Structure 1
Amino acid sequence: MAKVDELKVLLDPVVTGLGYVFWGVEYASQGKHSTLRVFIDHEDGINVDQCAEVSHQISAVMDVEDPIAQNYTLEVSSPGMDRPLFTLEQYAAYIGEWVNVRLRAPFEGRRKFKGVLTAIEDQDVCVTVDGTDYLLPIESIEKANLIPNFDKK
């Protein structure tokens, strides 16, 4: 967690300075095959050239600051339709949408929740699964993604 927080502080100004929204960052340290994934967004959408532009700038900053000691792969992309959710503000923007949530540790006997994002209460995310509301503390969420709805008009 501390490494991800350090990377957020380092990379957010780079992305926003280029005129994009810093959506979030994932870092998976897997020995020789670590991955740094940076999600960017823009009101007009994101294309490959924009990802390349941000990737180039992030690479330059990472080379100078060197926050990751081992080799890693840098990926820059749009959050996409199944966008990951990182902040309470992002969750709040998608109330009423279907989400997949995976917790770091079991809550009421389960780690995975698939349901409707119904509310934000203080630092908790409320997900309704089969008619039952679950208040999940944001700090206990390991990963959360929207479930795309292709039936919307």
Structure 2
Amino acid sequence: MSEVSEIIDRVTDTVNPILNENNFYLYNVEFVQEGGSWYLRVYIDKDDGVTLDDCVTVSDQLSEKLDELNPDPFAEPYFLEVSSPGAERPLLKEQDYQNAIDKYINVSLYQKLDGKKVFEGTLTKVTEDDLTLTIKIKTARKNVVIPRKLISKARLAIEF
């Protein structure tokens, strides 16, 4: 296991009790280096959405708990960011796809399918091997089955 993976695991173990106590759930944890600085990003969510005050509450409690970790898993200084994954959040885990059924999503592919590399539509079915989207074509609707092995990115999308 890499050092970054170990840090993510320790942070996950540390933040989950805080989130459970406050009726949130963990969406994702990232520990990345950008422009010479390290960032620990913790994305939280709850059924009725996350407010700025929610992020501050979790950030304060998590910061305190991270300072108490022994041994300290962080070799370098880092910036802690706690936020919502956003309205157009990426679909990363299987549960994210399941939660997105009947929602409008954007899917980018590694290679073209039916002449296109990007599809937007309502996610109607998720299986181990593929996703089914219902897309609008002018006034009609069409189901498109997208093999999961072709998907480079998928995210919730805002329908206009």
- Using the size of structure 1 for normalisation, the TM-score is 0.69
User: Which entry has the higher C-alpha Rg, 1 or 2?
Assistant: 2
**Which residue pairs with 1:133 in the alignment?**
145
Query: Shift of residue 54 of structure 1?
Result: 0.2
Query: Shift of residue 108 of structure 1?
Result: 7.6
Structure 2: distance between partners of 1:35 and 1:79: 15
Paired residue type of 2:145: D
For residues 96-126 of structure 1, what are the alpha-carbon distances to aligned partners after superposition, in whole Å with 9 as ceiling and x for unaligned? 43434568xx5689xx75434343223x552
- Determine helix, strand or coil for the equivalent of 1:11: helix
Structure 2: distance between partners of 1:27 and 1:142: 21
Does residue 12 of structure 2 align to residue 2 of structure 1?
no
The size of the alignment, in residue pairs, is 143
> CA 1:50–1:4 in 2, change beyond 3 Å: closer, same or farther?
same
Map residues 1-153 of structure 1 onto 2, 5 A cutoff: 2-3=5-6, 5-6=8-9, 7-30=11-34, 32-65=36-69, 66-101=72-107, 106=110, 113-116=118-121, 117-122=123-128, 124=129, 126=131, 128=133, 132-136=144-148, 144-149=154-159, 151=160
Q: Structure 2: which 5+ residue stretches go unaligned?
A: 136-142
Structure 2: distance between partners of 1:34 and 1:142: 25
> CA 1:53–1:35 in 2, change beyond 3 Å: closer, same or farther?
same
- Using the size of structure 2 for normalisation, the TM-score is 0.66
Does the Cα contact within 8 Å between 1:32 and 1:72 map onto a contact in 2? no
- Determine helix, strand or coil for the equivalent of 2:125: strand
- Determine helix, strand or coil for the equivalent of 1:25: strand
**Percent identity of equivalent pairs:** 31
Q: Structure 1: which 5+ residue stretches go unaligned?
A: none
Structure 2: distance between partners of 1:119 and 1:5: 31
Does the Cα contact within 8 Å between 1:32 and 1:70 map onto a contact in 2? no
Does the Cα contact within 8 Å between 2:7 and 2:74 map onto a contact in 1? no
Structure 1: distance between partners of 2:104 and 2:78: 32
Root-mean-square deviation over aligned CA pairs: 3.3
Structure 1: distance between partners of 2:62 and 2:105: 30
